[in-house]
Structure 1
Amino acid sequence: MLDLIEPYWPHILFVLSVLMGAAAAIHATMTKEEVRSTVGWVGIIVLSPIVGALLYMIAGINRIRRTVISDRRALLQGKIRADFASYDATDAMVTGKFGQRFRSMKTLGDRVTSHRLTTGNTIVALDTGDEAYGAMLKEIAKAKRSIILETYIFDRDRIGARFADALIAAVKRGVEVRVLIDAVGARYSVPSVLGMLRDGGVTADVFNGNVIMGLRLPYANLRTHRKILVIDGRTAFTGGMNIREGFSSEFSGDKCAFDTHFRVTGPVVADLVAIAAADWQFASGETLEGEAWTLQPPETKPGAPIMIRAVSSGPDRSVETNHKVLMGAFSVARSSIRIVSPYFLPDRELITALVTAARRGVAVDIVVPTANNLVLVDRAMTAQFDQMLKNYCRIWRASGPFNHSKLLVIDGCWAYVGSSNLDPRSLRLNFEVDLEILDCPFAEALERRIDLAISSATEVTLEGLKARPFPVRFIERVLWLGSPYL
């Protein structure tokens, strides 16, 4: 048989390359929504016969199709549904307190997200890892019915051991506990904390953990970057903080990295449960049902001041949701846009929205760390600073240790916090969760934090960027070309 085929193998290879290339190129053309992405993939497919098509099959196709628990009320029964519905913010409520432009933001959120803007919430910022970890461990110790934890990184270090011990103790008390760690994040420490958790009786799993020949197929490169901890369906923690001792001054001292996490209560907690429960179901196949997971109505009254919406985004039906919300927020800004981000690599659309706002007279301030834990990302983002600096935006390099916080405030009354970075990975590849907050006191408090960071920061200038050696600037531009994959 092989002897018969051997003389024709070049012809077979040619036919195979044409068929695979044509199929891949047609698929990319018909399914991609961005011209640059489509052209890039078609170019790879055409210029690299067979190999290009295989690369596209592995990394270019979004295969994640899942049943999403899109509404928290799907987890509720009977009378409780009406109780939760009474917390939904109305158009009149938002217009009366914040004006027509933020009613437009509510409309945008209603149309592009899976969750409602709700009243009756509380939110407290936790400034340091020590403060956040202490508050989280305290709530875990008080848990009576259920705990669900989803995180990107859960290191097996001294902080990770504290959390593992607390979760194991909760299981021994009879609490239902579920822990979901991203497959990539689980490998940040060796051995993984998963074995420690499972040995202690905790039900734990990894997100997107299929490994074939070193590749996580069929969902290569797609990660959960979400950080959600919900205790008894009443108290939640979310933000940018992973579980690792590098954020604890108790263990890291002066080298401790900074981050901002948030403790929330109210009806938005039910949405965070729904998001984490959908991810757990996708990863493990288990649907969280039963008395332990039944949500109770919030203790606050409907209409209470703080309005919050959970914004989930990811490479499934919620693709680019965070991107759309940010575009809307930049477009309604009148006086100020304040951004703190460790990895600031916005795409062309977001840059255009920011510089357009700045040209309208909006004060645009962007704070990034001087010390960055990802040097390649830092170099790549520096390469595009000039696009904003020459269009009236201001960029500041914050002093001190690395700051992993993700904070955004518009006009001192609208805030956006959570796990999303302003980079291609967070905006298109990762599963993220953020909070949209309408509350002037909270937004003003965030602005004061940003002002404090700016007061000791160094302003980035066009002159300073241009004065650096050409080889440095050239390397940064080369790294910038690969920014979608950093």
Structure 2
Amino acid sequence: MDAATAWLVAAVSLLAAVVGPFAAGHALLTKREPQVATAWIAVCLIFPAGGALLYYLFGINRVYTRARKLVAEERLPPSLAPHPTSSSHGIGPEYAEQIRISDAVTGRPLEPGNRIQVLSNGEEAYPVMLEAIEGARETVMLSTYIFETNTSGRQFIDALSAAHRRGVDVRVLIDGVGEYYTWPRPSTLLRRAGVPVARFLPPRLIPPQLSINLRNHRKILVVDGQRAFTGGMNLGDSHLLQSQRSHRVADVHFLFDGPLAQQMEAVFAEDWAFTTGDERTPPKRATPHDSGALCRTITDGPNEDLDRLVMTLIGALSAAREEIWLVTPYFLPMRPLITSLEAAALRGVEVKILLPERNNLPFVHWATRHILGELLHWGVHLYYQPPPFAHTKLFVVDRRYAQVGSANMDPRSLRLNFELNAEIYNRPIAEQLALDCELIRARSRQLSSAELGERHPAERLRDALCWLASPYL
């Protein structure tokens, strides 16, 4: 071995001896769960160089360092006292407990006078969204995770381009990883048309930007500060349920006409400011309708100090007295949520969870099967929806309270992704969503403990190993 090679080996060995323990120490000081911290410490100490690299890519806590940068303006600190506007709408006492929790956690007021329209699949949602863009007079703010450039996606690109040409302030924010699901990239086509577009945390090598774990999963479309859309749908042909595509996706989207649009536009503005450095002026006050639902946005993500969605969900589960519906494509909830679901069932609440029988992510489906036996044991009812893949996300409590939006019930949504849900305090809407859940259950099959118990030992091992990796799925 010549001197240069010996020097290189020594330098690499010294670097590995430093970065491995340094990464392990960082995990020890910043990880909130002991199991996660222990796993990363072991990886970094056993494989110093490779483990430290993996930790940098997938495990390092960028949450705190990005928190102040991401929020365009400081929100009001959480308060245990109800927000003034929340106690002035004359709603019934059955909402008091949930309102108190959400007031404290979100720091946002409840907004009255929102008319809500439920839109099933792309066949219903896309025409209404395109009509809103085509009728825009002042602003169009669009944020999405996946923006396909097939037929449906091109319709949105054409509508956004036409709005921009007639002088509407159009801005489009696409997740920097999500846009790689399609080719050509939508940002390229939008830029060619002159539409202002930005990519949220796109991975790059120069300068290094490898935070691939922190994704913007929010779905936001706000037109003229008055009409806002959110839910689980991305943009593309995959959400056309009546098409002949082999990988179709069933989902639900929501139109909110009223003051909630202002809150959603403010969320978009925060994300846009972080991505581009361009801070928008606060949106104008939207006009409430004489009759409509009380609503509020809940944002969650690695910029938040608290697990806001988790806390509001646990609050709603604790307040449930009769019935809970949970519809989600990915079900790997944190331990506190599992315990809350089981406790509700033990109180006599009918807890019904609807999951897809065929998941687009098989390893998530396998990991989920490892935890279902415990839920069944404590009286939770579980159902599998038949294909096509059900991407719907609904949470309904006692047919009086609902949450809808982009968040799944898994660690990625509740810890790593930037998500947006909307709270709905309205019996007619909650009853409609509960009836929709009943229709889903009617065509689903119920899962039994016996079925889970009949799994082959190899399947049990596979499911358990996937569950072990669930914090990183």
Question: C-alpha separation between the residues in 2 aligned to 1:117 and 1:260?
Answer: 23
Number of residue-to-residue matches in the alignment: 462
Q: CA 1:46–1:394 in 2, change beyond 3 Å: closer, same or farther?
A: same
Query: Are 1:296 and 2:296 matched, yes or no?
Result: no
Q: Whole-Å Cα distance in 2 between the matches of residues 190 and 4 of structure 1?
A: 45
Q: Does 1:6 align with 2:9?
A: no
Letter in 2 for 1:380: A
Contact 2:203-2:212 within 8 A present in 1 as well: no
Q: Does 1:121 align with 2:95?
A: no
In structure 1, what residue type is equivalent to 2:97? Answer: S
| Counterpart-to-counterpart distance in 1, 2:139 and 2:220 | 14
Partner of 2:80: none
Verify: 1:31 aligned to 2:20, yes or no: no
Asked if the contact 2:259/2:288 (under 8 Å) is kept, the reply is no
For residue 365 of structure 1, report the CA deviation from its aligned partner: 0.4
Deviations 1:321-360 (A, max 9, x none): 2112111111111111111111111122211111111111
Sort the Cα spacing of 1:121 and 1:72 in 2 relative to 1 into closer, same or farther, 3 A: farther
Q: Distance in 1 between matches of 2:194 and 2:292?
A: 41
How far the C-alpha of 1:296 sits from its partner, in A, is 3.5
Structure 2 CA distance for partners of 1:5 and 1:248, relative to 1, 3 Å: closer
CA distance in 2 between partners of 1:90 and 1:172 (Å): 41
Letter in 1 for 2:6: E
Counterpart secondary structure, 1:223: coil
Q: Does 1:149 align with 2:134?
A: no
2:452 alignment counterpart = 465
Aligned CA distance change for structure 1 residues 216 and 471 (closer, same or farther; 3 Å): farther
**Residue 163 (structure 2) aligns with:** 170
Does structure 2 conserve the Cα–Cα contact (< 8 Å) formed by 1:71 and 1:115? no
Match of 1:91? 87
Residues 388 and 25 of structure 1: CA distance in aligned 2, closer, same or farther (over 3 Å): same
Q: Using a 3 Å threshold, how does the CA distance of structure 1 residues 194 and 30 change in structure 2: closer, same or farther?
A: same
Instruction: Give the Cα separation in 2 of the matches to 1:247 and 1:9.
Output: 53
Superposition map of 1:301-320 within 5 A: 301=290, 304-317=291-304, 320=307
> 1 CA distance for matches of 2:127 and 2:326?
27
**Cα deviation code 1:200-239 (max 9, x no counterpart):** 11111111113128x9724221111100000011100000
Give the SS at the match of 1:33. Answer: coil
1:334 equivalenced with 2:321 (yes/no): yes
- 1:294–1:270 distance in 2 versus 1, CA, 3 Å: closer
Check whether the contact 1:70–1:115 (CA below 8 A) recurs between aligned residues.
no
Q: 1:111 to 1:69 in 2, by over 3 A?
A: farther
Q: CA deviation at 1:54?
A: 2.9
- SS of the residue aligned with 1:50? helix
Q: Is 1:372 aligned to residue 359 of structure 2?
A: yes
Q: Which string of whole-angstrom CA distances, capped at 9 and with x for unpartnered residues, describes residues 49-105 of structure 1?
A: 2332332233222323324145799xxxxxxxxxxxxx96333647x5143xx3232
Deviation at 1:305, TM superposition (A): 5.0
RMSD: 2.5
Asked whether 1:230 is paired with 2:214, we answer no
Which consecutive residues of structure 2, in runs of 5 or more, have no partner in the other structure?
77-82
User: Displacement of 1:362 after TM fit?
Assistant: 1.1
| DSSP-derived class of the 2:92 partner | helix
Deviates more, 1:395-404 or 1:16-25: 16-25
Quote the residue 2:240 is aligned against: 248
- Contact kept, 8 Å, 1:114 with 1:312, in 2: the verdict is no
Q: 1:90 to 1:294 in 2, by over 3 A?
A: closer
Alpha carbons 1:88, 1:117 under 8 Å: kept: no
Distance in 1 (alpha carbons) for counterparts of 2:235 and 2:460:
35
Letter in 2 for 1:407: L
The amino acid of 1:266's aligned partner reads G
Structure 1 residue 159: deviation in Å? 0.1
Q: Is the 8 A contact 1:113 1:318 kept in 2?
A: no
Do the aligned partners of 2:368 and 2:467 also contact (CA within 8 Å) in 1? Answer: yes
Q: Distance in 2 between matches of 1:363 and 1:120?
A: 31
- Superposition deviation, residue 169 in structure 1: 0.6
Question: Residue 159 in 1 paired to residue 148 in 2?
Answer: no
Would the alpha carbon gap of residues 72 and 323 (structure 1) be closer, same or farther in structure 2, given more than 3 Å must change? closer
* SS of equivalent to 1:123: strand
Distance 1:287 1:150 in 2: 16
Alpha-carbon distance between aligned partners in 2 of 1:72 and 1:299, rounded to the nearest angstrom:
23
Aligned to 1:442, the other structure's residue is in SS state: helix
Paired AA for residue 260 in structure 1: V
Q: 1:455 to 1:88 in 2, by over 3 A?
A: farther
3-state SS of 2:202 partner: coil
Q: Which amino acid aligns with 1:6?
A: A
Letter in 1 for 2:104: R
Distance 2:86 2:74 in 1: 17
Residue 179 of structure 1, CA deviation: 0.6
- CA–CA separation in structure 1 for the residues paired with 2:48 and 2:387: 49
Letter in 1 for 2:262: A
- Contact in 2 for aligned 1:373/1:402 (Cα 8 Å): yes
* CA shift for structure 1 position 249: 3.9
8 Å Cα contact 1:58-1:217 kept in structure 2: no
The offset of 1:435, in angstroms, is 0.6
Give 1:272's aligned residue: 264
Distance 1:349 1:409 in 2: 18
Q: How does 1:320-469 map to 2 (within 5 A)?
A: 320-469=307-456
Distance 2:219 2:244 in 1: 22
Partner Cα distance (1:211, 1:69) in 2: 24
2:273 maps to which of 258, 277, 281: 281
